[in-house]
């Protein structure tokens, strides 16, 4: 782990799936109030792991006003391969919203996560483990926040945990 941390240099383009997953952990660990995630399906970045589950659970439980918003191009991986994260949606449904994009946004190939107004990680292309991250970079987060809002406008529906019916 210390070898990985030595390679995690902020504000530089980095490569590798392990480094990417570890940088996500750093951003998650520094989140206090809001988390915004845009991803194709959460299949990269080790989101099915116990470690990601614990980091997200801690984020949601330590602040009564914490909020997690996720925009995915496809929700199948989350539902079928991330039972722990899906379980968080059942427990913290009042704090988590998961949206699926409509067809016009399915072409987007970048992924990013924003924590509060300060921290971010951005995967340059979903098929390549090239990314950039930083803590305490309000300028970059502000620019990515605009992109997140644009993507939010392309969502077609929110993921429901339970089916309503009589």
Is residue 165 a part of any domain in this protein?
Answer: no
86-92 long-range contacts (CB < 8 A, ≥24 apart) are: 86/161, 88/53, 88/56, 88/57, 88/60, 89/159, 89/161, 90/161, 92/60, 92/68
Query: How high is the pLDDT of residue 4?
Result: 55
What CATH code is carried by the domain that includes residue 144? 3.30.870.10
Query: How high is the pLDDT of residue 162?
Result: 55
Q: Copy the structure tokens of residue 47.
A: 């989101």
Query: How high is the pLDDT of residue 103?
Result: 83
Neighbours of 25 (CB within 10 A): 20
Q: Copy the structure tokens of residue 31.
A: 């989140």
Q: How far apart are CA 43 and CA 28, in angstroms?
A: 17
Residues in CB range of 150: below 8 A, 6 or more apart: none
In this prediction, the residues of the chain whose per-residue pLDDT falls under 70 are: 1-6, 161-166
SS3 124: strand
Q: How many residues does the chain have?
A: 166
> Which domain, by its residues, includes 41?
2-158
Is residue 166 a part of any domain in this protein?
Answer: no
Query: How high is the pLDDT of residue 165?
Result: 41
Is residue 99 a part of any domain in this protein?
Answer: yes
Q: Please report, for residues 31, 45, 54, 112, 154, the alpha-carbon distance to residue 101 in angstroms, rounded to integers and kept in the order given.
A: 24, 20, 26, 15, 6
Q: Specify which residues 121 forms β-bridges with.
A: 113, 133
Domain count, the chain: 1
Segment (H or E) for 36: strand 34-39
């Amino acid at each position: 782990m210390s070898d990985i941390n030595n390679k995690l240099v902020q504000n530089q383009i980095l490569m590798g799936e392990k480094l990417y997953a570890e940088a996500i952990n750093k951003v998650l660990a520094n989140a206090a109030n809001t988390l915004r995630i845009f991803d194709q399906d959460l299949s990269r970045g080790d989101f099915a792991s116990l470690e990601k589950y614990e980091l997200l659970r801690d984020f949601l439980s330590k602040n009564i006003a914490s909020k997690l918003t996720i925009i995915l191009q496809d929700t199948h991986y989350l539902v079928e391969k991330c039972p722990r994260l899906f379980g968080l949606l059942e427990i913290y449904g009042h704090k988590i919203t998961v949206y699926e994009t409509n067809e016009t946004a399915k072409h987007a190939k970048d992924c990013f996560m924003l924590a509060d107004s300060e921290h971010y990680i951005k995967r340059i292309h979903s098929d390549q483990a090239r990314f950039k991250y930083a803590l305490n970079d309000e300028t970059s987060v502000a620019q990515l926040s605009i992109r997140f809002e644009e993507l939010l406008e392309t969502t077609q529906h929110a993921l429901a945990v339970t089916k309503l019916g009589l």
